[in-house]
Amino acid sequence: MSRSIAEIEKDLMALPIQDRARIAADLIRSLDKDDEILSREELDAAWLEEIQRRVQDVHEGRVELLDAEQVMAELRARYPKK
């Protein structure tokens, strides 16, 4: 007897977040059979390149860094608890 989607979803939601993220990425990748889909290694390399670009932007002063407390205060003001 096959399991229902609800049962499978319940089991998946019980997994650690890292496992759920990996499964989600694999499922999304499986939806598109196009050759443009990146392998895990290509995706990792692309993210590394993006991280290096962002770090360089910080070092060269092209982006403004914000204090975490300031950001959180602004978010709390913008989105108060109901």
Q: pLDDT of 10-61, one tens digit each?
A: 999 999 999 999 999 888 877 766 556 678 888 899 999 999 999 999 999 9
Contacts of 20 (CB under 8 A, 6+ apart): 12, 13
- Is the Cβ–Cβ distance between 12 and 23 less than 8 Å? yes
Dist CA 31 CA 25 (whole Å): 10
pLDDT band with cut points at 50, 70 and 90 for residue 1: low
How confident is the model at residue 35, as a pLDDT?
56
Q: What is the pTM of this model?
A: 0.46
Contacts of 68 (CB under 8 A, 6+ apart): none
pLDDT band with cut points at 50, 70 and 90 for residue 4: very high
- Is the Cβ–Cβ distance between 65 and 58 less than 8 Å? yes
How confident is the model at residue 58, as a pLDDT?
95
